[in-house]
Each structure stands twice: as C-alpha cells, then as structure tokens.
Amino acid sequence: MKDIVILGAGTAGTLMSNHLAQKLNEEWRITVVDQRKVHHYQPGYLFVPFGVYNEEDIIKPIEKFIPERAVLYQESIVKVDADNDRVHLEDGSVLPYDVLVVATGTDIAPEEIDGMLGPHWHQSVFDFYSLEGAVKLHEKLKNWEGGHLAVHIAEMPIKCPVAPLEFAFLADAYFEERGMRDKVKISFITPMDGAFTKPVASAHLGHLLEEKNIEVVPNFNIMSLDGEAKKILDYEGKEVSYDLLVTVPTNKGAEFVERSGFGDELNFIPTDKATLQSKVKENIFVIGDATNIPASKAGSVAHFEGEILLENVLRFINGKTLSSRFDGHANCFVETGHGKALLIDFNYTHQPVSGTFPIPGIGPLNLLKESRMNHMGKMAFKWIYWNMLITGKHIPFVSAKMNEAGKNLEETIV
C-alpha cells in the first residue's frame, strides 16, 4: 500500500482528491486532512454584504465532496516532517506519505497590521474575506446611514486580487439602489500605483472609476490603524480617515507551514511555477493559494493547476520526468454592479486583453467588456463550482492552458 496525503479540503484539495481518485489504482490510499466541517463557496463572500447570498447559500458539508475511497481526517495539522515523509496532526496521529499534496490555501491575518484588531474590528473595520466578516458587514450596511466608505488593500499578494475593486463597484450600485448614494463617499485605497495596474485593462476600464465616482488613493502602504480616531496611516505619514473601513488584510499561508520550516515570510511555499513541485522536497507538490508562484491566488488558477498537477503526480509516481507545465492561466469574472460584469482571461505571459470567450470569435462571453451575459456567467458559476469544478469534471470549452485565439493580443503592443 502506498500513501498520498492531501492537506486541505478547500477548492484545490477537494478537486485534487477527486482527480486522483479517478486515476490512481487501488494500490494507493488517498488521505485528505482538513479540520473544518464545511466547504465554503468563496466567490460568494463578495455578495453576502449586499444581501445577494446569505450564509446558507454558500456552504455545504466538506465530506460530501471527498471521494468515497479517500480517508478524511478532520484534525488540524501540527507540522510536516519533510525529512521523514510524515504529517503530524493535533490529536497525535502521524500520517506517513509517499507523495504529499499541500492545498492549505491562504487566510487573512489582520493581526499583521498594527492596531487593526481591537474593539473596532467588525464594528467600524470589516473584512469580507471570511464568512463571519461578510455576514457582519451585511448587518452593518443594512443600517448604515452613510459617510466615508474606504475600501482598502493592505498589501499584496491577496486572494482574488479583483475582489476589492468588485466590492467598491457593488457598493456604488447598492447605495444607488437604496437611494442614498449621495450620502456615501467611496474611496479605493491600494498599495499599487492605481486601481488598474495593467496597461490594456487600464485603457479599457479606467473610466469605470470616474463614472462610479470612486476616488482612488494609490501607493498607500499601511503602517497602522487607529480604531478610535478612525484613520489609517502609511509609512510616509499619509493618513486616510474613514467612517467605515472595508479592508483586505495581509494574506498568509497556513501556520503549520511556518512550523514545518519551509515557507516564505508569509508562509507561502516555494514552488516551481511550471511543474507545481515544491522546492522543499521532490515528493511534495503544492496547488492553489498555498504556493508562492507568480500567478493570481484564485479558484480558477487552482482549477487549471489541478489538471497539470494530476499529470505530474502520475508521472512522478511512475518515475518519469515532470513534463506538464502550468502557464499561469487565470479566468475571472469581475462584477461591476447593476447586473453587469467583466471577464478576464490571462496567464504568465499575456495580460488581460479584449476578445471573446470561451469559443474564439463567437463567445458568448466578452473579455474586458461589461455585459449582462458576463454577470449571468458569474452567477451560473456557483452551480458549476459545486457540481463540476471541485468534483474534478471537465468544464466544456475551458482548457487548463490559456487559448490565444479569440484574443486581441495586438493591444499589448505599444
């Protein structure tokens, strides 16, 4: 009997367990470790503050999606002993492995910012990257009478880098629909040099911020938060006062990564960006937000990586070279409010450009352009997520590697 152990049963871990269950023969035992009981549809967090989804709409039991032949351990992870190929769990169990797949993702770490946690947390300072934060923010917004809403990114990298911008767009539409947009000032505070940082996206989408009357505060690297005075300060002495701060705090990888001694300063695991093999040891692979690769931290990336990683794990256990190469493909809907959305499709080498998706020249979805169809795509995606994506089924027309056809790649030539 040989053992493959998967750490984490979120998007990446669950889809890998299903991929592997379909391909590995009975000689292999598949073990999945995750202490949580519920699987969250994380793209749904964005909609919870605005009452589009409630908590029950976006959670299901974890075990429902783990393949029957796999063993599920609901324990927290103490550490990985890479030298001896073992995982140590909180209850004292030790899981030996031949191959380890780390899929423990990333989570917010508000404690990393001086003053962010305190009596003001989930009172006047909120996150929407946790279900708890999103639900509490919904309660707050329902009764809020207006003022300065500051949407804030602490530092990069963060999970789903477009979500803060989507939040600002949806907030604009939400307050407008409630007839109180004139009572709300919305600003977008980012450590980058603008809300859009890629030239083509900037050219296509820059107008949205002005149209929606969202003020951008660029190059703001937060040093501390003063909850009593309701202001954030950056390293250069700049200050922004707020009435309601919606922040995306520092994102970090799982704590056991630090205890195992192989993460970077944010507990992300050094990983080969093409093969997804860790740089820690050859029998450790990493998928999804847990890696340090220069791809977006997003469910679509985990999904595309899944097909590549399956191929490479199979090659590894058969003693072959790892020939399947991930190209950094990401595909994300970007909500812009009032029932419209954009779609972006990009990889390591190509920034998002305009065009059609998934069928070149036909669509039906438009890239880098607002449409109702894109919004319907985003809402339909929840069904695809639960029924196809995490269960390891192939999604028609959508390939792991980015399709260059149907894209106006000449836009990037300037």
Partner 1 sequence: METTIAGQNINLNPEGYLLDLNQWNPEIAEHIAQEEGIELGEEHWPVLKFLQEQHRQEVALSIRKVGKSGIVNIKEFYALFPGGPLKKASRIAGIPKPASCI
Q: Is 410 a binder of partner 1 (CB under 8 A)?
A: no
Distance CA 72, CA 9 (A): 9
According to DSSP H, which parts of 127-278 are helical? 131-143, 163-177, 199-211, 255-260
Q: Is 203 a binder of partner 1 (CB under 8 A)?
A: no
For 354-358, which contacts have Cβ atoms below 8 Å and span 24 or more sequence positions?
354/200, 354/204, 354/407, 354/408, 354/411, 355/406, 355/407, 355/408, 356/406, 357/331, 357/406, 358/397, 358/398, 358/403
Stretch that binds partner 1, among 91-99, 129-137, 141-149, 289-297 (CB under 8 A): 289-297
Q: Binding to partner 1 (CB under 8 A): which residues in 340-399?
A: 344, 346, 351-352
Cβ 197 to partner 1 shortest distance, Å:
4
Site size with partner 1, rule: CB under 8 A: 36
Phi, psi of 396 (to 5 degrees): -55, 140
Give the per-residue contact string, 132-171, with partner 1 (x = CB under 8 A; - = no).
Answer: -----------------------xxx---xx---------
Distance CA 7, CA 312 (A): 18
Q: Binding to partner 1 (CB under 8 A): which residues in 95-134?
A: none
CB atoms within 10 A of CB 81: 14
Nearer to partner 1, 14 or 347 (CB): 347
Q: Is 201 a binder of partner 1 (CB under 8 A)?
A: yes
Q: Binding to partner 1 (CB under 8 A): which residues in 312-351?
A: 330, 332, 334, 344, 346, 351
Cβ 406 to partner 1 shortest distance, Å:
18
Contact status, residue 137 vs residue 246, Cβ threshold 8 Å:
yes
Distance CA 193, CA 143 (A): 33
Torsion, Cα 88 94 100 103, to 10 degrees, reads -50
Look-up of token digits 């073992």? 86
Phi, psi of 226 (to 5 degrees): -110, 100
Length of the chain equals 414
Burial readout 176-214 (b: 16 or more C-beta within 10 A, e: otherwise): beeeebeebbbbbbbeeeebbebebbeebbeebbeebeb
> Judging by beta carbons within 10 Å of its beta carbon (0-12, 13-18, 19+), is residue 315 exposed, middle or buried?
middle
Nearer to partner 1, 51 or 218 (CB): 218
Q: Is 250 a binder of partner 1 (CB under 8 A)?
A: yes
Cβ 215 to partner 1 shortest distance, Å:
18
Choose, by CB under 8 A, the member of 41, 175, 196, 316 that binds partner 1. 196
Q: Is 261 a binder of partner 1 (CB under 8 A)?
A: no
Nearer to partner 1, 8 or 161 (CB): 161
Cβ 279 to partner 1 shortest distance, Å:
10
Q: Is 225 a binder of partner 1 (CB under 8 A)?
A: no
Nearer to partner 1, 102 or 293 (CB): 293
Q: What DSSP line would sit under 300-331, residue for residue?
A: HHHHHHHHHHHHHHHHHHTT----------EE
Stretch that binds partner 1, among 25-33, 49-57, 287-295, 374-382 (CB under 8 A): 287-295
Q: Is 214 a binder of partner 1 (CB under 8 A)?
A: no
Cβ 87 to partner 1 shortest distance, Å:
26
**Token digits of residue 215:** 């003020």
Nearer to partner 1, 76 or 351 (CB): 351
Cβ 145 to partner 1 shortest distance, Å:
32
Residues that bind partner 1 (CB under 8 A): 155-157, 161-162, 191-193, 196-199, 201, 205, 219, 221, 223, 235-236, 250, 264-266, 273, 292-294, 296, 330, 332, 334, 344, 346, 351-352, 414
